[in-house]
């Protein structure tokens, strides 16, 4: 099976797709992976794809935790992912919310806050990937709407075998004919 030389990207929502969503997750010691999530990212890496996270983090804006707390959580995710042989090529987050406790995070309808496509559009531009060569895997309607607005295929994750879902999407992304 010949693999396309075109760049492709898998954009993962974080809470509920990669890690179990306990609500405003930020404590590294409480990180609990969705079964198969690390293997799914390793599969993207092995196929030569770009793997990124795009996550709303209104807990920062609401004052539940600081950006440094979220960064520590992400550092632990990346450490554990690396131990499993995988990597994330980028992590995009949006701390903004219209009801933010801190004025610097108070922003109604921020362009990065899903369902807006800002994080996805930025990830595509940062890695030089065409929207048609990307997929967003999310567990909320706002993830699917952000994907639609970015021109990216949205795949709703309802639980189950994330690695199999990613394998199916990788087959779709890598087996398409290159443009002439």
Catalytic residue numbers read 13, 15
131 DSSP 8-state letter: G
- Classify each residue of 62-75 as buried b or exposed e, where b means 16 or more C-beta atoms within 10 Å of its C-beta: beebeeebbebbbe
Strand order in the sheet with 153-156: 90-94, 50-56, 9-12, 134-138, 153-156
Which residue blocks in the chain are alpha helix, DSSP H? 37-46, 58-61, 67-83, 118-127, 141-150, 162-174
The CA dihedral of 109, 114, 117, 123, to the nearest 10 degrees, is 120
């Amino acid at each position: 099976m010949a693999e396309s030389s075109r760049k492709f990207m898998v954009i993962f929502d974080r809470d509920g797709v990669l890690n179990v969503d306990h609500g405003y997750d930020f404590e590294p010691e409480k990180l609990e992976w969705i079964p198969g999530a690390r293997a799914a990212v390793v599969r993207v890496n092995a196929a030569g794809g770009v793997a990124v996270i795009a996550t709303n983090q209104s807990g920062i804006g609401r004052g539940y935790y600081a950006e440094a707390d979220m960064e520590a959580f992400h550092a632990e995710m990346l450490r554990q992912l690396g131990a499993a042989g995988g990597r994330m090529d980028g992590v995009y987050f949006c701390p903004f919310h219209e009801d933010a406790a801190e004025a610097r995070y108070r922003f109604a309808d921020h362009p990065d806050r899903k369902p807006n496509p800002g994080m996805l559009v930025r990830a595509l531009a940062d890695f030089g990937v065409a929207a048609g060569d990307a997929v967003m895997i999310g567990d909320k309607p706002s993830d699917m709407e952000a994907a639609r607005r970015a021109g990216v295929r949205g795949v709703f994750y309802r639980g189950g075998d994330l690695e199999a879902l990613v394998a199916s999407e990788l087959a779709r992304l890598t087996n398409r004919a290159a443009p002439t």
